[in-house]
């Protein structure tokens, strides 16, 4: 018996990003509508779906961690919610957010409602994933679909935050601010939770055990060429892309911070918009400004 894939990106026909297309919901980039899946990533997504466990994606900045979740949601026609974690993120922010200013205003006006009133909080991404009726922005066609939830850069949070999420992630239920138990709406299906980390802070052993773990590496030259072909379409310039990919790879092996795939694509687009080719000396200056952020003189051709 062969592998039964719950998620199979091979069934999707990729189209290059073009003017007028709408970015993936929760993002601001057309880049998030094209993603190059390898076999290991596809397997990890399938294991997470089949086991009901969160998918923890580790890797350096620019390795494609954050773009994975919206593309899985797009391909599977799942609802999509995202939360970018910061040092100020509290555990309940992923479940709900308090409307403190409204509560203070009502107290000042003498119209304060009962503690736990829904007027003083709004559902967070995990709550919306469990109950699709809470998000009016969801397209009607997706209301009865499961959800993908991206918790981006969990390592930015206080160490207590990931561990505080263990119970809600494990049981797909939690007690809300109104003391009512929140659980998955019948017939909706369990959400796929994708958590990313740059590994700037160590996660607890208990949290790691709870997750399916996928590690992504910085893209190599061949990967960049494939991504560029998908994105650039008819505007793809093989010679220029090869030069930029070689520079990207060389910079990745240096000690300076690694550029991202998005920076690589933006540099390529900028060069094409300005009519530059591999024979143009100016492309190196453009790459120094947009991709490698070189500290040396970016204008060697003057």
**pLDDT over 70 (residue 168):** yes
Judge whether 190 and 146 are in contact, CB under 8 Å.
yes
**pLDDT over 80 (residue 2):** no
**pLDDT over 60 (residue 298):** no
Torsion sign over Cα 276, 279, 280, 286 = positive
Q: CA dist 27 to 82, 157, 243, 277, 299, Å?
A: 9, 21, 29, 30, 33
Judge whether 156 and 195 are in contact, CB under 8 Å.
no
| pTM recorded for the entire structure | 0.82
At 34 the pLDDT is 73
**pLDDT over 50 (residue 20):** no
Please report which confidence band the pLDDT of residue 252 belongs to, taking 50, 70 and 90 as the band edges. confident
At 86 the pLDDT is 93
Please report which confidence band the pLDDT of residue 123 belongs to, taking 50, 70 and 90 as the band edges. confident
- Between CA 65 and CA 55 the distance in angstroms is 11
**Average pLDDT, whole number, for the chain?**
83
Q: Under DSSP, is residue 214 helix (H, G, I), strand (E, B) or coil?
A: strand
**For residue range 173-214, what is the model confidence (pLDDT) as tens digits?**
888 887 788 887 777 789 999 999 999 999 999 999 999 999
**For residue range 182-191, what is the model confidence (pLDDT) as tens digits?**
887 777 789 9
Residue of 187 and 125 predicted with greater confidence: 125
At 28 the pLDDT is 43
């Amino acid at each position: 018996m062969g592998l039964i894939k719950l998620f199979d990106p091979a069934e999707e026909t990729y189209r290059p990003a073009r003017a007028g297309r709408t970015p993936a919901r929760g993002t601001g980039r057309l880049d998030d509508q094209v993603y190059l899946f390898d076999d290991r990533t596809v397997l990890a997504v399938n294991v997470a779906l089949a086991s009901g466990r969160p998918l923890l994606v580790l890797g350096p900045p620019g390795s494609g961690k954050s773009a994975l979740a919206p593309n899985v949601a797009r391909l599977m026609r799942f609802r999509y919610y995202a939360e970018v974690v910061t040092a100020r993120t509290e555990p309940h922010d992923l479940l709900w957010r308090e409307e403190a200013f409204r509560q203070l205003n009502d107290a000042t006006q003498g119209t304060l409602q009962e503690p736990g009133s829904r007027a003083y909080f709004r559902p967070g991404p995990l709550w919306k994933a469990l109950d699709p009726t809470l998000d009016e922005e969801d397209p009607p066609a997706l209301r009865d679909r499961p959800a993908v939830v991206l918790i981006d850069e969990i390592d930015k949070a206080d160490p207590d935050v990931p561990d505080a999420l263990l119970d809600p992630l494990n049981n797909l239920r939690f007690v809300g601010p109104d003391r009512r138990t929140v659980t998955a709406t019948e017939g909706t299906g369990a959400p796929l939770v994708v958590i990313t980390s740059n590994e700037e802070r160590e996660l607890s052993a208990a949290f790691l055990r709870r997750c399916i773990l996928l590690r992504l590496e910085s893209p190599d030259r061949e990967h960049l060429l494939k991504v560029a072909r998908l994105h650039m379409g008819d505007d793809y310039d093989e010679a220029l892309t090869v030069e930029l990919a070689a520079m990207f790879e060389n910079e990745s092996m240096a000690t300076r911070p690694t550029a991202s795939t998005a920076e690589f694509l933006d540099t390529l687009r900028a060069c094409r918009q300005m009519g530059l080719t591999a024979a143009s000396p100016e492309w190196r200056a453009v790459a120094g400004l947009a991709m490698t952020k070189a500290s040396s003189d970016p204008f060697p051709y003057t």
